[in-house]
Amino acid sequence: MNIRHLTSPVLVVGFVLALFFASFVENGISWGRYDTELFQYVGIYALFVLCFLIGGRLSGANRNIENDHNAIAGSFEESINKKRFVIVWGVAILFYSLKLLVLGAVPILSSDPTIRSTGASLGGVVDYPVRLLSILGVVSFWLYYEVRRRQYLALFALSVLCNLLMLNRAELLFLVFAAGLISLRGKRIKLSSFVGYCVGSVALLFVGIGLLAVVRYGAHNIGNGLDLGELVLWVIHGDLTGAINFGSYVADTVKGELLGGRYTLGEYLSIINPWYGAHGAEYLRNEFLPNRKTAQSVALPFNYYLDFGFFGVALFSFVCGSAYVALRRYFISGGNILAGTLFVLFFFNLLLSVRNGIFPVNPLFLYCMGGVCFFYKVGGLSGWRLLVMKLSATLFVMSLPVSLLIGLSRV
């Protein structure tokens, strides 16, 4: 097996279906359970699988991809502007510090389970620069993997530490996921070894995430007398399947009334119209579970179904499949390191959408793209690709003064 097999679109849809079927298992602590009949929505999962695979096929899944044993085109270290790379790191650390000031405590050391929600008042314009820490950690690991210089490994470790202190479970998972994916480029492994490694790594990782959830909410609040091992397993199960069950519950409740993009495209719409109001998981919480203190997400493909019905499932699944295969080709061949980095983020967002239902190319994806474009050298590019990179970098730079002013005003 090699990276081409491990990133196959078939495995992606297999992962989505595996979690869907796992949702039929009754959770021992009722974590993520809702009064709904999930089986009635098998059709939208079948539609997602069909359109995702067709989109990937038409995007060129059948093309011959350059063998991953070939050398990466150019040096990754030479393809970045180191001074700008340091500047972006500085920006991320600055806004991370501002967010800690707003929170008033380090989340991992706080007994308040809703402390991270306090930072939501900052808005994306301030929170997005903090999120740069994760993509910078990935770039740093890729640099370390190529040239084996310890300073890059230290930067990757710093990214992990910062996200750990914030209890950012998704970001921690992203960093581990990205490091593993990059490490597997150019390698061949036995299927038995891969399965054993994945089962062990994923089990260890999710146990860690489950323990963080237990720390966050308190074992006495959710344990029902279970021992720690059983509790962690049910927390993991509920964390992975809760959004699927909630999506089914909301679909039952709205009874065919479409949300018109308020969930899937809500982030974009709120940027265009600052008075747009609640959207995404926050909107669903307000409308369907007003007593909950935290936002409630629905899983892919319920996000597309709730917003636009069967047409939305077909369209967005097709687009995701096409984009996935196109970016995957760059990652495998090494022909474009920037696109390869974006593939890692897109791939992760796509997998994570089974839990949060966010469209993989969300505003944060574009913001991270702008940050990477800012320190990525554009030599050799021309046409629309050069235009997109320069525009992304320019918009990123223009957003920083605005973010800083708003951030300082809210401290």
For 34-81, where are the alpha helices, taking DSSP H only? Answer: 42-56
Model pLDDT, residue 392: 92
pLDDT given at position 118: 59
| Section 257-261 average pLDDT | 89
pLDDT at 50: 96
Mean pLDDT of 52-76: 62
Mean pLDDT, all residues of the chain:
81
Residue 311: CB atoms within 10 A of its CB come to: 13
Tens digit of each residue's pLDDT (9 = 90 or more) over 191-201: 666 666 666 66
Looking at residue 279, its pLDDT comes to 82
Per-residue pLDDT, averaged over 45-71, amounts to 72
Per-residue tokens: 390: 């320069």
Task: Give the pLDDT of residue 33.
Answer: 76
Inform me whether the pLDDT recorded for 211 exceeds 80: no
Mean pLDDT calculated for residue range 52-60: 89
How far apart CA 295 and CA 292 sit, in angstroms, is 7
pLDDT beyond 60 at 69: no
3-state secondary structure of 80: strand
pLDDT band at residue 381 under the 50/70/90 scheme: low
Mean pLDDT, range 365-369, rounded to an integer: 93
Is residue 46 scored above 70 in pLDDT?
yes
Position 379 confidence tier, pLDDT thresholds 50, 70, 90: low
- Mean pLDDT value across residues 125-145: 90
Average pLDDT, integer, range 285-303: 80
**Which of these ranges, 170-184, 279-293, 337-351, has the smallest mean pLDDT?**
279-293
Instruction: Specify the higher pLDDT residue, 310 or 238.
Output: 310
* Confidence at residue 303, expressed as pLDDT on a 0 to 100 scale: 93
Which has the higher per-residue pLDDT, 87 or 233? Answer: 87
Residue 267: pLDDT above 70?
A: yes
User: How far is Cα 59 from Cα 323, in angstroms, rounded to an integer?
Assistant: 8
Residue 34 pLDDT > 70, yes or no? yes
Mean pLDDT value across residues 251-271:
87
Tell me how far apart the alpha carbons of residues 198 and 235 are, in angstroms, rounded to a whole number.
Answer: 20
Highest mean pLDDT among 21-30, 239-248, 357-366: 357-366
Contact present, 352 and 367 (Cβ < 8 Å): no
Please tell me the distance from the alpha carbon of residue 230 to that of residue 240, in angstroms, as a whole number: 16
Indicate the DSSP class of residue 376: B
Task: Check residues 14 and 191 and name the one with the higher pLDDT.
Answer: 14
The confidence score (pLDDT) of residue 198 equals: 62
Q: What is the pLDDT of residue 6?
A: 83
**Segment of 77-81, 280-284, 394-398 carrying the highest mean pLDDT:** 394-398
- Whether the Cβ atoms of residue 241 and residue 19 lie closer than 8 Å to each other: yes
Mean pLDDT, to the nearest integer, of 240-264? 88
pLDDT for 276 beyond 60: yes
Instruction: Report pLDDT for 68.
Output: 37
DSSP labels for 151-213?
Answer: HHHHHHHHHHHHHHHTT-HHHHHHHHHHHHHHHTTT----HHHHHHHHHHHHHHHHHHHHHHH
d(CA 173, CA 183): 15
Length of the chain, please? 411
Q: To the nearest whole percent, how much of the chain has pLDDT over 90?
A: 34
Highest mean pLDDT among 2-6, 154-158, 173-177 belongs to: 154-158
How confident is the model at residue 119, as a pLDDT? 57
The reported pLDDT for the residue numbered 72 is: 38
pLDDT > 80? residue 215: no
**pLDDT exceeds 80 at position 250:** yes
- Mean pLDDT, residues 83-100: 92
Q: Is the pLDDT of residue 145 over 90?
A: no
Q: From CA 144, how far away is CA 138, in angstroms rounded?
A: 10
Output 215 or 329, whichever has higher pLDDT: 329
Q: Quickly tell me which residue has 């996000």 as its tokens.
A: 303
C-alpha–C-alpha distance, residues 171 and 131, integer Å: 8
Give the pLDDT mean for 264-276: 83
Give the residue from 147, 197, 184 showing the smallest Cα distance to 68.
Answer: 184
Please give the residue that has the higher pLDDT: either 226 or 266: 266
